[in-house]
Amino acid sequence: MQFVHINDAVMHYDVAHAVDAAGPAIVFINSLGTDKRIWDHVLPKLSNDFTLVTYDKRGHGLSDLGEPPYSIDLLASDLSALIDHLELTEVVLVGLSVGGLIAQALYAQRPELVKGMVLSNTGHKIGTGESWQARMSAVEAGGIESILEPVMERWFTPAYRAPENVAYQGYCNMLQRQPALGYIGTCAAIRDADFTQLAGRIAVPVLCIAGARDGSTPPDLVKSTADLIAGARYEVIEDVAHIPCVEAPAVHAALIRGFVEQFDEE
């Protein structure tokens, strides 16, 4: 485990350098209510060829809580500082859900750092102010466990949520063990983020990935985001919901690999 003090928080991260790494480093940004372990089944499919960075954003995993509520700009500033700490340049950002918003915010702040972006199960704007305020109020009143079932229904397909799938119980534990203040603070960041205008100014290659059965960021939202970005590719993974790196890691990794390999040809 590796830690670094960034802004007002200690951040937990990991970096794996491939012996013969080609092309840009890939930085993974996880979703709301998860930590960097959601990438555990994707990383081995890429680790022989690329430098890979994962981290827990503030208020999640082993990173500090900091001072919630957060803004997307703050979360992007954390990531920018981590990339600088690792002395990386021109990285590919792989952002899932709120991670995709953080990727867009980082591009707005420091476009020179970003070689390309994989925006997975995300959008230029996610949800409404009312929907996020309702979720924050629910967690404040009853804790994260009070929203577990509806969140899991959006995260995973019914097949994955089968009682015999012990991994599913593990992801339930992951969500419930996130700090409630960190979860609420990140909800506030999502509530206030809107990159509808920025999307049209993105000038790096972008791959937008949707889960066909995603209840959080449905394919129509992901497609509308791709349509705003000049030249963006759009792909749908069948039979998965909001977290394809868990439900279909091989397919997810293959799409990421295919996207990043284009930079080796430059």
Beta-bridged to residue 52, according to DSSP, are 16, 26
Report whether the peptide linkage leading into residue 69 is cis, meaning its omega lies within 30 degrees of zero: yes
Q: Is the pLDDT of residue 266 over 60?
A: no
Q: Is the pLDDT of residue 88 over 80?
A: yes
What is the pLDDT at residue 22?
73
Please compute the mean of the pLDDT values over residues 204-233 and round it to a whole number.
Answer: 98
Whats the size of the chain, residue-wise? 266
The answer to whether the CB of 35 falls within 8 A of the CB of 101 is no
Give the list of residues 6+ apart from residue 140 with CB closer than 8 angstroms, or none: 180, 184
Give the list of residues 6+ apart from residue 144 with CB closer than 8 angstroms, or none: 33, 175, 176, 178, 180, 183
Please compute the mean of the pLDDT values over residues 119-139 and round it to a whole number.
Answer: 98
Determine the Cα–Cα distance for residues 119 and 117; give it in Å rounded to an integer.
6
What is the pLDDT at residue 53?
98
Determine the Cα–Cα distance for residues 153 and 25; give it in Å rounded to an integer.
33
* Helical packing angle, 180-192 and 129-142, nearest 10°: 170
Q: Is the pLDDT of residue 40 over 60?
A: yes
- Phi and psi, residue 190, nearest 5°: -65, -45
Give the list of residues 6+ apart from residue 134 with CB closer than 8 angstroms, or none: none
Determine the Cα–Cα distance for residues 67 and 181; give it in Å rounded to an integer.
9
What is the pLDDT at residue 119?
98
Q: Is the pLDDT of residue 34 over 90?
A: yes
The rounded percent of the chain whose pLDDT value lies above 70 is 99
Please compute the mean of the pLDDT values over residues 237-250 and round it to a whole number.
Answer: 98
Determine the Cα–Cα distance for residues 8 and 78; give it in Å rounded to an integer.
9
Determine the Cα–Cα distance for residues 35 and 112; give it in Å rounded to an integer.
27
Element (H, E) at 239: none
Q: Is the pLDDT of residue 18 over 70?
A: yes
What is the pLDDT at residue 265?
59
Domain boundaries, the chain: 2-265
Please compute the mean of the pLDDT values over residues 228-246 and round it to a whole number.
Answer: 98
**Residue type at position 123:** G
Give the list of residues 6+ apart from residue 18 with CB closer than 8 angstroms, or none: 47, 48, 49, 50, 51, 52
Q: Which of 2-6, 7-11, 16-20, 89-93 has the lowest mean pLDDT?
A: 16-20
Instruction: Give, in order, the Cα–Cα distances in Å from 260 to each of 3, 25, 118, 158, 256.
Output: 27, 9, 9, 32, 6
Q: Global pTM?
A: 0.97
Determine the Cα–Cα distance for residues 103 and 210; give it in Å rounded to an integer.
16
DSSP helix/strand/coil, 27:
strand
Of 225, 204, 241, residue with least CA distance to 125? 225
Most distant pair of Cα atoms in the chain: their distance: 53
Number of Cβ atoms within 10 Å of the Cβ of 129: 9
CA 63 vs. chain centroid, Å, equals: 16
CATH 3.40.50.1820 corresponds to the domain 2-265: yes
